[in-house]
């Protein structure tokens, strides 16, 4: 458990050290070698106790292997010279995970890259609960990505009932990723400020096939709309001709007209008119 410690001011002890230096010099000058040696020894003993803590950094203190606390206040301090001091950064840091190949919920290989923003929150856990907390952040973030990817499909082409997908549910997916990473890094005293996906794509071996499938789906959807519109237009045309009594159609002529109109309306090319110099029956 982290203990916040406020040590003694280093300025008081540096004055004491200077006074001992002066006393040592005077002792040797007045032929008091024993007193001078003691003063010199105390000067040397005091010096290792000085240390500086910069803003957004902390110093973890140990005395013969026993944790004595963490100094988070910035300034110039002095502690027991026998204490071991380890500096640790409290600044906000971020790293971009290069795209890694993972499998989505359906099993499709996809490439996912992430950005994680984090900082050390508990200096005791970061120092003593893991060997290397920076490496721990990278490894656990990678593991969290793999687990999160398996919870959602890339899109809803194969899983039409999926409400959240990696491609469309960006906010929900990022929230899930952040929670997963936070849970894993909590044991190391790391606070996750933000985690989000920076790169998302199908793996190269299936990217071409998936692109063709998306294009085919878009074409089918467009054709469906075109056919629905064409049917409505043909129906309106026949009704208008009948109401205005312009021409009478038997079933055969009606079928021919419907066929011609559907070809013209649904074709992806411009119609080429053909002049009929005979009758409609020819």
Percent residues over pLDDT 70 in the chain: 75
- The whole-number average pLDDT for the span 41-57 is 91
- The whole-number average pLDDT for the span 104-109 is 82
Region at 202 (left for phi over 0; alpha for psi -120 to 50; beta for the rest): beta
Q: What is the pLDDT of residues 247-270, one digit of tens each?
A: 666 666 667 666 766 666 666 665
Q: What is the pLDDT of residue 201?
A: 83
Q: What is the pLDDT of residue 216?
A: 56
Of the pLDDT bands very low, low, confident and very high (cuts 50, 70, 90), residue 233 is confident
Q: What is the pLDDT of residue 79?
A: 92
Count of helices and strands (H, E) across the chain:
7, 9
Q: What is the pLDDT of residue 269?
A: 60
* DSSP 8-state code for residue 47: G
* Residue 257 or residue 46, greater confidence: 46
Q: Which of 180, 50, 56, 51 is nearest to 123 (CA)?
A: 56
Q: What is the pLDDT of residue 100?
A: 86
Q: Which two tokens stand for residue 35?
A: 């007193």
- CA dist., res. 255 & res. 116, Å (int): 64
Q: What is the pLDDT of residue 59?
A: 94
- CA dist., res. 65 & res. 123, Å (int): 16
Mean pLDDT of the chain: 81
- CA dist., res. 123 & res. 89, Å (int): 9
Is the predicted pLDDT of residue 76 greater than 90, yes or no?
Answer: yes
Cβ–Cβ < 8 Å for 126, 88: yes
Of the pLDDT bands very low, low, confident and very high (cuts 50, 70, 90), residue 209 is low
Is the predicted pLDDT of residue 95 greater than 50, yes or no?
Answer: yes
Q: How many CB atoms lie within 10 A of CB 51?
A: 18
Backbone phi and psi for residue 53, each to the nearest 5 degrees, phi listed first? -115, 120
CA atoms within a 13 Å half-sphere pointing along the CA-CB vector of 145? 26
Of the pLDDT bands very low, low, confident and very high (cuts 50, 70, 90), residue 158 is low
Q: Which two tokens stand for residue 57?
A: 């950094």
Q: What is the pLDDT of residue 214?
A: 63
- The whole-number average pLDDT for the span 185-194 is 91
* Residue 115 or residue 161, greater confidence: 115
Is the predicted pLDDT of residue 282 greater than 50, yes or no?
Answer: no
């Amino acid at each position: 458990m982290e203990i916040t410690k406020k040590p003694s001011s280093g300025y008081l002890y540096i004055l004491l050290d200077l006074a001992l230096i002066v006393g040592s010099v005077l002792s040797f000058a007045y032929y008091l070698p024993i007193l001078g040696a003691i003063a010199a020894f105390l000067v040397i003993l005091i010096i290792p106790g000085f240390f500086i803590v910069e803003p957004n950094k902390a110093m973890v203190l140990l005395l013969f292997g026993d944790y004595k606390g963490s100094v988070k206040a910035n300034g110039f301090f002095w502690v027991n010279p026998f204490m071991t001091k380890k500096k640790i950064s409290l600044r906000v840091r971020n790293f971009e995970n290069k795209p890694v190949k993972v499998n989505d919920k359906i099993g499709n290989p996809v490439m996912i890259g992430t950005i994680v923003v984090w900082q050390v929150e508990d200096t005791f856990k970061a120092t003593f609960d893991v060997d290397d907390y920076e490496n721990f952040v990278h490894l656990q973030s990678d593991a969290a990505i793999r687990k999160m990817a398996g919870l959602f499909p890339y899109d809803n082409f194969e899983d039409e009932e999926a409400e959240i997908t990696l491609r469309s549910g960006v906010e929900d997916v990022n929230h899930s990723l952040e929670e997963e990473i936070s849970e894993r890094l909590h044991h190391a005293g790391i606070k996750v400020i933000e985690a989000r996906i920076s790169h998302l794509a199908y793996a190269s071996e299936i990217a071409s096939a998936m692109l063709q499938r998306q294009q085919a789906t878009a074409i089918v959807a467009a054709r469906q709309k075109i056919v629905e519109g064409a049917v409505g237009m043909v129906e309106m045309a026949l009704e208008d001709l009948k109401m205005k009594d312009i021409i009478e159609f038997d079933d055969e002529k009606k079928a021919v007209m419907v066929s011609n109109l559907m070809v013209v309306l649904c074709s992806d090319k411009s119609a080429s008119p053909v002049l009929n110099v005979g009758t409609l029956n020819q």
